[in-house]
Amino acid sequence: MKTITLFLLLAVAGQALSQNSTFYELPDLGVNQEAGDCRNAASLFSIAQHDLNRLRGIVLDIEDSLSILDEVTPLVGQICDRHTQIQGMNFLQTNVRAKSKTKMFSQIRKLKELPENLAKDSVVTQMISSKLDVIINQITVASAQSNEQHIAQTCTELRAAIQDLKDYLNWAANQINSQWINGYLPTRLSDMLAKMNQQWTCALVFIPKSQATITYSRIDNSLSILNNLMDPNVQGRGWNAGWSAPQWIQIAFKQPTYVDSLRLDADIYPDGNIQASIVADYGLSTQRTIASINQYLSYHQILSFPVKLSLTNLRITTTYISSQSWVAWEKILFYTGETNCQCI
């Protein structure tokens, strides 16, 4: 860049930038701060890694811009100390021939290219561009500064503007390093990594026996405690027919009740193949088969089935067991949904 262009650039910078030297602020760095838990932690961990690498690149761009300013400073000293021949600064006003206009446009074009040399990242460009835009817009003002008094004033403002820009870029780099690169982002990465090792867990809401009436084909009272049958929080026997298949048990709700899922605890011993059907009544005397069981079951094996209906009653009919086991279910649990979901 020619000396006269550089001088015009920095002269107007002195006028434009020295006014804002007492307050600095960063533009929006675009760092993701979305709340995270174990469900989205992996995605947010990757985003935080990307943000960390991007901010490191921004700091490198700032350091490159500072290096360019360091190269400009000695040249400015030469200009202001009169060690370099300065062309008349009113050339933009006095030269009206085509050749002079071509030279003027060439100088302006070089000014417009300067932001590309000072910054690569859009955030850094945002930090600097407003200052350079003022230079482009006010170039005609600078061209009028042709006498010694104006030049001396311009040089005073020029040095202050260069120092202010350096101070701002140093401040910005330190802020990004301390607040984000060495502060928030390492903590966020550690937090998301910990959340990735957690599991999303919910408590199931069950329907208690008090909301239903239990009937059955037969029962062995010595082997049954019906109060335990529909409560997942107590241990012990539920319903035992005291006899081999076929047998049935029915739960009739006192009013239509939404059931999200059904869970059975098979009290079968010895283990064996079982054939059973689960039929629900809902709506206006409408029936639906929730499940048909035809499989080998082990003692206390858990069976789960989706329901997602508002039921009036449900009947489990066991038609066959290959072993000598009596028909028995330790738990028949109805769940309406989930609650108290959290990462643990």
Intra-chain end-to-end CA distance of the chain, in Å: 62
Strands of 153-246 (E only): list them.
200-206, 212-216, 239-240
Helix (H, G, I), strand (E, B) or coil at 131: helix
Q: When comparing pLDDT for 225 and 169, which is higher?
A: 225
Distance CA 283, CA 312 (A): 8
Average pLDDT rounded to a whole number, residues 195-203: 94
The structure tokens 């050339």 sit at 91
User: Which residues lie closer than 8 Å to 299 by C-beta, 6 or more apart?
Assistant: 266, 267, 268, 269, 270, 271
**Domains of the chain (ranges plus CATH)?**
3-196 (no CATH), 205-343 (2.60.120.260)
pLDDT of residue 104: 40
Distance CA 317, CA 296 (A): 16
Q: When comparing pLDDT for 123 and 46, which is higher?
A: 46
| pLDDT for residue 221 is more than 90 | yes
Q: Quick one: pLDDT band at residue 72, thresholds 50, 70, 90?
A: low
Distances (CA, A) of 229 to 1, 262, 299, 312: 88, 13, 16, 18
Of 35-39, 137-141, 285-289, which range is least confident?
137-141
The structure tokens 């943000």 sit at 51
| pLDDT for residue 338 is more than 50 | yes
Q: When comparing pLDDT for 1 and 76, which is higher?
A: 76
Q: What percent of the chain has pLDDT over 90?
A: 58
DSSP 223: G
DSSP codes, 128-154: HHHHHHHHHHTHHHHHT--SHHHHHHH
Pull the structure tokens for residue 305: 């089935």
Pairing state between β 302-321 and 212-216: unpaired
pTM, entire model: 0.61
DSSP 337: E
Q: When comparing pLDDT for 95 and 284, which is higher?
A: 284
Q: When comparing pLDDT for 83 and 334, which is higher?
A: 334
Q: When comparing pLDDT for 149 and 243, which is higher?
A: 243
Mean of pLDDT over the chain = 81
Element (H, E) at 161: helix 148-175
Average pLDDT rounded to a whole number, residues 72-82: 63
The candidate with the shortest Cα–Cα distance to 267, out of 231, 242, 237, 295, is 237
Distance CA 126, CA 122 (A): 6
Helices 3-17, 122-137: inter-axial angle, 10-degree rounding: 100
